[in-house]
Structure 1
């Protein structure tokens, strides 16, 4: 409950920040509109005072003269006004028509520009999404969603953000992300986000019920899609798996275990935190797949010399049939389509991957 309140407050603050920053985009045009309105107001005062002073009429008559002059309605085929009044009226008509036309044109321009820019922006975004392949779809751009997208951007993983809050979507767009406004639980929204070409969907909505429903919807649309879903309640984990989620993440449970580890095994917990936080140490985890053309096929862990030659640790092997080997033995052999989980500096991983012709989804590598 507290986490939900905190996330709602953060989203509210984000919306406020976006609203404060948006007027700057239209500032030059708004300034011109204000100047046009100021000119028209000043011109109205000068014209009304001028008519009253020249003709000695009432204030109402002076306003009447101004309106029919600026509107070009006119007084008839001939005028009985004195020459000086006629000259003044000519000036009122010329400057009045120009002033009103200028102000109206600016207002229309602002409306048309906004609609055109919005339409072009939406079309450009749709065009980019249509050409995405093997991308991720992040449903929900709250605290968790922002953390996820930050890491995806660091890893150069293509993704699309989907959220139904227009201010939140605007904030994502201003960050340079591909973002869509819509209800992620609707099939049409998921199709527009390119779910049929997506590789992974991350479901991080605030409601467990919405997460379960979205998982079921996405699984029915794309049976082979990898779905990673968030759950707030422990009881929701089973429901998410039944709905079709491949992995379920319970932030409260993970946070509790991490805090307990800091109490019981502080050094081990700190080391694990460093491994998962690239900002603290220059070490990263990477996955490398072994194609049939790699010289690693048939070799043992010992024969790779990963630790001695490349300063890497092979901490796991995902076999082609799906089983995972943790801390493989020196005599374990590599097979085609095995995926190595290695830990080391990015440059060392790059060298290892290039030397053994391994596949890697991370554009930073290879």
Structure 2
């Protein structure tokens, strides 16, 4: 806008100069210079078109053209060409940065939907040590993408049910995707598309209605969270056991009070019972089964097991090596 105003200023200054010295110009059409003729002469002169039907005739008009109008013409062209070159340069620079960003992006997390559920999921992931540069947000609303950019996340604007939008977010090279849109049918379509693009990606999706959860699992989701039912159960628990609901809310809010976490069995814990672990074991995950801590089958822990434990948020657990089950 500033450059446009500068170009218009140059144009009208030149028109004024020509109009003031209009008697020094020769018009081959009627021999008389009107304001419209001055405007016409200025536009064809500044744009270097130069039809020749109007030309400076007097010495003063030629001197003004040589010393004043010619520099204004150069300035006018610099404004126009400079704006064009800058636009092309910015686009090239942006495309180069985008290509470099995509080439360096590996094992990142994609979050579909930057609403309340998406924001909460991102905050939980960040509390585990995930970097903001490893999160890519997809949302159909430009203001949501801008909000994600303002918080330091890469954003992709578009419909996540379309494969080209997921490809722009590099879903094919992502480690996990959180699907939290406003509609259940959108969750199903995004899950199907993401699973097709990346068969190995971990998919966690949210639905509003519990009846849609089986359909989402059949579509390829690893975990399905029913937001409406979960909220309803918390409300019921708060009525029956207010303190228990407070503890449960504290468990799912990572970073404060008590934290709930899933981790592999360490080498030192192999062969021991869940009660002998340093952390409070809630469940033992063995294969595709979840065993209670007091289940006879979980009496002896194996290296291939995973533990769901409760620990204080102020006490950091050792990050285990997924391949050996040992802390790093």
Instruction: Tell whether the structures are fold-level matches, with TM greater than 0.5.
Output: yes
| Mapped contact 2:127–2:254 kept (Cα < 8 A) | no
1:265-280 correspondence to structure 2 within 5 Å = 265-278=241-254
- RMSD over aligned CA atoms reads 3.4
Per the alignment, do residues 111 and 198 of structure 1 end up closer, same or farther by CA in structure 2, a change over 3 Å counting? closer
CA distance in 2 between partners of 1:196 and 1:207 (Å) = 23
Look up the match of 1:245.
221
The structure showing larger relative contact order (alpha-carbon pairs under 8 Å, at least 6 residues apart) is 1
Look up the match of 1:141.
114
Instruction: Give secondary structure in 2 for the equivalent of 1:348.
Output: coil
1:251-276, Cα deviation, whole Å (9 max, x unpaired) = 12111221222222111111211222
Q: 1 or 2, which has the higher strand percentage?
A: 2
Check if 1:37 corresponds to 2:7.
Answer: yes
Counterpart among 3, 13, 17 of residue 47 in structure 1? 17
How many corresponding residue pairs? 313
Where does the alignment leave 5 or more consecutive residues of structure 2 unmatched? 26-31
Where does the alignment leave 5 or more consecutive residues of structure 1 unmatched? 1-29, 307-311
Look up the match of 2:28.
none
Counterpart among 255, 261, 266 of residue 286 in structure 1? 261
Instruction: Give secondary structure in 2 for the equivalent of 1:337.
Output: coil
TM-score (norm 2): 0.79
Instruction: Give secondary structure in 2 for the equivalent of 1:235.
Output: helix
CA drift of 1:224 comes to 4.8
Counterpart among 79, 101, 113 of residue 125 in structure 1? 101
CA distance in 1 between partners of 2:72 and 2:135 (Å) = 54
CA distance in 1 between partners of 2:234 and 2:300 (Å) = 34
Check if 1:313 corresponds to 2:313.
Answer: no
Check if 1:150 corresponds to 2:119.
Answer: no
Look up the match of 2:288.
322
| Mapped contact 1:215–1:227 kept (Cα < 8 A) | yes
Instruction: Give secondary structure in 1 for the equivalent of 2:21.
Output: helix
Q: 1 or 2, which has the higher helix percentage?
A: 1
Per the alignment, do residues 256 and 206 of structure 1 end up closer, same or farther by CA in structure 2, a change over 3 Å counting? same
TM-score (norm 1): 0.72
Instruction: Give secondary structure in 2 for the equivalent of 1:318.
Output: strand
